[in-house]
């Protein structure tokens, strides 16, 4: 029996609504497999905390999180606080401070879910985007001068380091090796002649160590079109922070809903805790209505368990999610259903119990 210490940060908006649902499944996975128990500590950080304290998290936030096995994170951002303040105050310092350099975002078309793309069936879309998660366009390097004057200038400098590029690209190769052995390099080296040529060179050089992985270099604009026109041709895609951000919303959309897309911010060396959070964000437009789709958050829990080594529980939870979407009886409005958040969780819980028998 393993004990896991999990830091839970529900955060803002629907993060507050979906996090308890995910925790239910984490507990259930432990109960049904008898393999582990999760111990939680809750951190009430986010925009409300900011309005009271002037900070998104305390100054020693990273020190507080450091000793946990993993972080289970809801969402960050609310209209009460400018987005760049909330993001820079909470999600980014954790990803950067804990070297969670591989942001892993699966796009899998679940059974029973209607893709907006015609003729796609369950499993036709099954790829993973590995997004660089600590530098690139999100490095925070730049500034504004002469504010408000006609000569105002703003710079936002992308920063790409050889070591930063190499570590995420190698992670992606390793992942491709475990999957269908195809890796796409999302690039824009035709226009971005410094950073993206470095990126391409590192990608090609690392490939020498993975001869069994078939690679392609695809420009980001053409790749966006391919996500829509031929998603079944994709296995693993590796891209910079911003490219990966954009591609993964597209990946979620072609799989039927933002409410289904999980993500893991991974520190592969396990020197620091990794963080698991849905792609969807805080969704202020539907928050408080009890209709947020809990599936992405529950699936994040499965990813977290998988990362912790609890394969059986992870498989059981994903399989229960699939059974729930396949039956189509209990779905939230983003999927055309009329169920509330808690009802979907109930359906997944019941299915997990049934399958575990």
281 binds ligand IPM (CB under 6 A): yes
Out of 64, 87, 350, 356, which residue is the one contacting ligand IPM (CB under 6 A)? Answer: 87
132 binds ligand IPM (CB under 6 A): no
What binding mask, one character per residue, do residues 26-65 give for Mg ion by CB under 5 A, x or -?
A: ----------------------------------------
The residue count for binding Mg ion (CB under 5 A) is 1
> Do residues 166 and 101 make contact, with C-beta atoms less than 8 angstroms apart?
no
| Helix count and strand count (H, E) for the chain | 12, 12
What binding mask, one character per residue, do residues 240-279 give for Mg ion by CB under 5 A, x or -?
A: -----x----------------------------------
279 binds ligand IPM (CB under 6 A): yes
Between 235 and 245, CB nearer to ligand IPM: 245
Query: Least distance (Å) from Mg ion to the CB of residue 249?
Result: 5
77 binds ligand IPM (CB under 6 A): yes
All residues at 6 or more sequence positions from 150 whose CB lies less than 8 Å from its CB, including other chains? none
Give which of ligand IPM, Mg ion, none residue 253 binds (C-beta under 5 to 8 Å, depending on kind). Answer: none
Strands 2-11, 36-42: pairing is parallel
Backbone angles phi, psi at 211, to 5 degrees: -60, -25
- For residue 53, what are its two tokens? 């304290």
Q: How far apart are CA 135 and CA 158, in angstroms?
A: 8
245 binds ligand IPM (CB under 6 A): yes
Give which of ligand IPM, Mg ion, none residue 281 binds (C-beta under 5 to 8 Å, depending on kind). Answer: ligand IPM
Q: What one-character DSSP code corresponds to residue 261?
A: -
Query: Least distance (Å) from ligand IPM to the CB of residue 254?
Result: 16
Between 304 and 348, CB nearer to ligand IPM: 304
> Do residues 14 and 337 make contact, with C-beta atoms less than 8 angstroms apart?
no
Give which of Mg ion, ligand IPM, none residue 74 binds (C-beta under 5 to 8 Å, depending on kind). Answer: none
Q: How far apart are CA 261 and CA 77, in angstroms?
A: 18
352 binds ligand IPM (CB under 6 A): no
Q: What are the angstrom distances between the C-alpha of 202 and each of 166, 167, 180, 208, 343?
A: 6, 10, 22, 10, 47
Give which of ligand IPM, Mg ion, none residue 164 binds (C-beta under 5 to 8 Å, depending on kind). Answer: none
Instruction: State whether the Cα torsion 112-116-120-125 is positive or negative.
Output: negative
Strands 2-11, 236-239: pairing is unpaired
Between 257 and 330, CB nearer to ligand IPM: 257
Give which of Mg ion, ligand IPM, none residue 264 binds (C-beta under 5 to 8 Å, depending on kind). Answer: none
Give which of Mg ion, ligand IPM, none residue 310 binds (C-beta under 5 to 8 Å, depending on kind). Answer: none
Between 103 and 349, CB nearer to ligand IPM: 103
Give which of Mg ion, ligand IPM, none residue 314 binds (C-beta under 5 to 8 Å, depending on kind). Answer: none
Give which of ligand IPM, Mg ion, none residue 195 binds (C-beta under 5 to 8 Å, depending on kind). Answer: none
14 binds ligand IPM (CB under 6 A): no
What are the DSSP calls for 60-123, one per residue? THHHHHHTSSEEEEEE--BTTB-HHHHHHHTHHHHHHHTT--EEEEEEE--TTPPPSSTT--TT
Beta bridge partners, 41, equal 7
> Do residues 94 and 134 make contact, with C-beta atoms less than 8 angstroms apart?
no
- For Mg ion, the binding residues (CB under 5 A) are 245
User: Which residues in this chain contact ligand IPM in the complex, by CB under 6 A?
Assistant: 77, 87, 245, 279, 281
């Amino acid at each position: 029996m393993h004990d896991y210490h999990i830091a839970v940060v529900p955060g803002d908006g629907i993060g507050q609504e979906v996090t308890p649902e995910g925790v239910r499944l984490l507990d259930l996975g432990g109960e049904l497999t008898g393999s582990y128990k999760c111990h939680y500590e809750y951190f009430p950080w986010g925009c409300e905390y900011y309005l009271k304290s002037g900070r998104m998290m305390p100054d020693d936030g990273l020190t507080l999180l450091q000793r946990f096995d993993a972080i289970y994170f809801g969402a960050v951002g609310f209209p009460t606080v400018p987005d760049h303040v909330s993001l820079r105050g909470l999600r980014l310092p954790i990803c950067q401070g804990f070297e969670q350099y591989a942001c892993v975002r699966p796009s899998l078309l679940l059974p029973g879910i209607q893709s907006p793309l015609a003729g796609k069936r369950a499993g036709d879309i099954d790829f993973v985007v590995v997004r660089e998660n600590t530098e690139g366009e999100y490095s925070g390097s730049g500034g504004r001068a002469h504010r408000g004057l006609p000569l105002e200038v703003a710079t936002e400098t992308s920063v790409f380091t050889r070591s930063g590029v190499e570590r995420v690209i190698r992670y992606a190769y390793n992942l491709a090796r475990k999957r269908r052995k195809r890796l796409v390099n999302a690039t824009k080296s035709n226009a971005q002649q410094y950073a993206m040529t470095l990126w391409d060179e590192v990608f090609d050089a690392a490939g020498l160590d993975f001869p069994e992985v078939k690679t392609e270099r695809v420009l980001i604009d053409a790749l966006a079109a391919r996500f829509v026109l031929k998603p079944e041709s994709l296995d693993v895609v590796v891209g910079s922070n911003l490219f990966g951000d954009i591609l993964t919303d597209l990946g979620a959309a072609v799989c039927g809903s933002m409410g289904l897309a999980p993500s893991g911010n991974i520190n592969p060396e396990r020197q620091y805790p990794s963080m698991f959070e849905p792609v969807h964000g805080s969704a202020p437009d539907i928050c408080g209505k009890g209709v947020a789709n809990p599936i992405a958050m529950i699936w994040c829990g499965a990813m977290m368990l998988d990362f912790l080594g609890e394969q059986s529980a992870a498989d059981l939870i994903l399989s229960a999610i699939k059974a729930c979407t396949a039956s189509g009886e209990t779905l939230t409005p983003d999927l055309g259903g009329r169920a509330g958040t808690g009802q979907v969780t109930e359906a997944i819980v019941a299915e997990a119990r049934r399958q575990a028998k």
